[in-house]
Structure 1
Amino acid sequence: MKLFHHANRERNADTRRVYALFEIVYTAVDFAAALCFTVGSVLFFFPVYEIPAVWLFTVGSVFFMAKPTIRLIREIKLYRMGKLDRLAHRAEGE
């Protein structure tokens, strides 16, 4: 099994569940990042709100940085689940 291989998420009910949970987290982080950038952009129209706008851009950047991290963690977890499945299958064959 390879990382980022579509078959990893379709192996069984557990892998489909893990994939779905990570997609929910990924989408929530994506939405939070977009919300931070949108609100921060609007706040930049008002000089008095410049500091909160900068903070929202910083927080939004952290959210955007978290997105590939979430994907990589998901793929590593799915990969390891596949290795466990293969080990269990080998143990049953002995």
Structure 2
Amino acid sequence: MQLFHPDRQRRYQNDTKTYAIFELAYTSVDLAAAILFIVGSVMFFYQAYQTPGTWCFLVGSIFFAMKPTLRITREFFYLHDGDYDDLARRLKE
């Protein structure tokens, strides 16, 4: 079982609750990062708000780093319930 295999998304859509939770978290993190970057950009127009703007960029960057973390967490979650023989075969290749 290969990580990030394109068919995996369709395979686990039957597990709607888990899939929905991960997709909702991924979208929420993505939206929060975008909003923080927009707010930080506007703050940089004003000298008095550059420090808070920098914090918005930092927190937004952390949110962007959470996106691949959520994806790999979902993959390992599904891998936990998956076919270990197939995974072992792929590791030997």
TM-score, scaled relative to structure 2 = 0.78
**1:77 to 1:5, Cα distance in 2 relative to 1, 3 A:** same
Q: Deviations along 1:20-71, whole A, 9 cap, x unmatched?
A: 2101100000000000000000000110111100000000010011110000
The gaps in structure 1 that reach 5 residues or longer are: 85-94
The gaps in structure 2 that reach 5 residues or longer are: 85-93
Q: What is the CA–CA distance in structure 1 between the aligned matches of 2:61 and 2:18, rounded to whole Å?
A: 26
Q: Deviations along 1:67-88, whole A, 9 cap, x unmatched?
A: 100000001111112249xxxx
RMSD over equivalenced CA pairs, Å: 1.8
| Range moving further from structure 2, 55-64 or 73-82 | 73-82
Q: What is the CA–CA distance in structure 1 between the aligned matches of 2:12 and 2:31, rounded to whole Å?
A: 29
Match of 2:18 in 1: 18
- The answer on 1:70 being equivalent to 2:78 is no
TM-score, scaled relative to structure 1 = 0.77
